[in-house]
Chain A
Amino acid sequence: MITSDATLEKQSARPPATKISWDTWAVLAAFLAALLIRFGVVKHIPW
């Protein structure tokens, strides 16, 4: 059996509202990177 979101939430005592979703973390990380580039902290990303 897999552990579903619902089961995990039941098992956890924390209210879901206090959690930052995976999605939101990704957006925050991307914006942090964009700001570092915008304000010259990171000047060049090679490829």
Chain B
Amino acid sequence: MSETLAIPQIEQAEIKQAQPNLQFLRVIPGILLLAAIGYAGKLLEQNVGKYAKAHHWIFPNIEYVLWAILLGLAISNTVGVPAIFRAGVATYEFWLKVGIVLLGARFLLGDVLKLGGVSLALVAIEITGAIAFMTLLGRLFNLKPKLTTLLAVGSAVCGVSAIIATQGAIDADEEDSSFAIAAILALGALALFTFPLIGHALHLSDHAYGLWAGLAVDNTAEASAAGALYSDAAGKLAVLAKTTRNAMIGFVVLAYAIYWASQGQAKTVKNKAAFLWQKFPKFVLGFLLISVLATYHFFSKEQVTALANLSRWAFLLTFAGVGLRTNFREMRKQGLRPFAVGAIGEVVIAVFTLGIVIGAQKIWGW
């Protein structure tokens, strides 16, 4: 393993090494680091504003989400993440999924079906448009076809998880997978800072912005963070739209697996139902089940508040992890061409999804 690919290593090998049933103790230092950074972000949110006000300074109100990401970025891009913490830092996706499942308590089933139905329609348009455009762009830039497939799936469905799932299904090179992951992560990091600014500049409602972030930002952690940076309500909507997108992963990967098998360049999928179940993100089912339980009053009002707060704590660890695993120096080493294709694609997809969200906003009058 070369050091130049430290971020994808964290994404894949470190997560494998950090399987909770195998090496539980190895993850503790990193989890403590996530908690410390997240909590520091929360304290900074509470105290910096007060301090600035007391000293009559003009200082923007920065939420804990951004503080946690900034602290993580500062550590990752200066001293780096020491090896002892890496396995634990890699658990940030675990906390993300725990947070999403618990967030289900804040959605009544009717809302999930209504918003999920709208999201599903928009997601179908987004996935079709994004795959078509990324495939065209890959051909124009003369990228390898399987790298183009990975970039298309990464930008259309759900970032790193989709790329890893597709890599195995279409027998793509590990190098191509690394390029695609690096491009998606770099662009996700940029989206964290640009999306809220654009949303405020366009005076988007929480509803419209949340849907846009969930549709256009590729990695689930970054999509959740981009939503939460705008507002709590936008964060909820971003998670819902992104979860709807995640639910599509099995179908898209299966379609690509069948295509590459028909070209004689991947193994044939024998049991399609088993393939779909294997690729389906199980946390989507957990989210729906908690939402059903909340709808039928399995939890009291106080218990729903407790579950929502626990979900926030889980997201806090996630946001710290987003900053810690983003290392711009490492990303630069991955090469410019896949990044350029990814960047052009992401900008077009962001504009395209913004257009369909604004269109939907006019139809449904949010």
Contact = CB atoms under 8 A, between A and B. Distances in A.
Interface residues of A, number: 30
A3 B282 CA distance: 24
Nearest to A42: B306
Interface in A7-47: 7-8, 19-27, 29-31, 33-34, 37-38, 42-47
Given A8-B16, A30-B98, A38-B299, 9 more contacts: A22-B94, A25-B94, A29-B94, A31-B286, A31-B289, A43-B306, A45-B309, A45-B310, A45-B313
Interface residues of B, number: 47
Given A30-B286, A45-B310, A2 B97 contact: no
Interface string B149-185: 0000000000000001001100100110110000000
Given A3-B13, A4-B12, A34-B307, A27 B167 contact: no
B102 A4 contact: no
Contacts of A44: 302, 306
Contact of B101 (A3, A4, A27): A27
Given A21-B282, A24-B282, A27-B101, A4 B299 contact: no
B290 interface: yes
Nearest to A32: B98
B9 interface: yes
B303 A38 contact: yes
B15 interface: yes
B177 A2 contact: yes
27 contacts: A1-B5, A2-B1, A3-B13, A3-B16, A4-B12, A4-B174, A5-B12, A5-B16, A5-B164, A22-B97, A23-B282, A25-B20, A25-B94, A26-B283, A27-B282, A29-B98, A30-B101, A31-B289, A33-B98, A34-B299, A37-B303, A37-B307, A37-B310, A44-B302, A45-B305, A45-B306, A45-B313
A1 to B, nearest CB: 6
A1 B16 contact: no
Interface string B1-37: 1100100110011011001110000000000000000
Contacts of B5: 1-2
B207 to A, nearest CB: 23
User: Chain B contact residues: over half helix, strand or loop, or mixed?
Assistant: helix
A34 B102 contact: yes
Contact of B102 (A8, A21, A33): A33
B106 interface: no
Q: Is the interface of A mostly helix, strand, loop or mixed?
A: helix
B299 A37 contact: yes
B285 to A, nearest CB: 7
Contacts of A30: 97-98, 101-102, 283, 286, 290
Given A25-B20, A38-B298, A47 B167 contact: no
Contacts of A2: 1, 5, 8-9, 12-13, 174, 177-178
B281 interface: yes
B106 to A, nearest CB: 12
B93 interface: yes
Given A2-B9, A3-B1, A46 B309 contact: yes
A8 to B, nearest CB: 5
A27 B100 CA distance: 9
Interface in B289-342: 289-290, 293, 298-299, 302-303, 305-307, 309-310, 312-313
A26 B168 contact: no
A12 B10 CA distance: 19
B174 A7 contact: yes
A34 B310 CA distance: 9
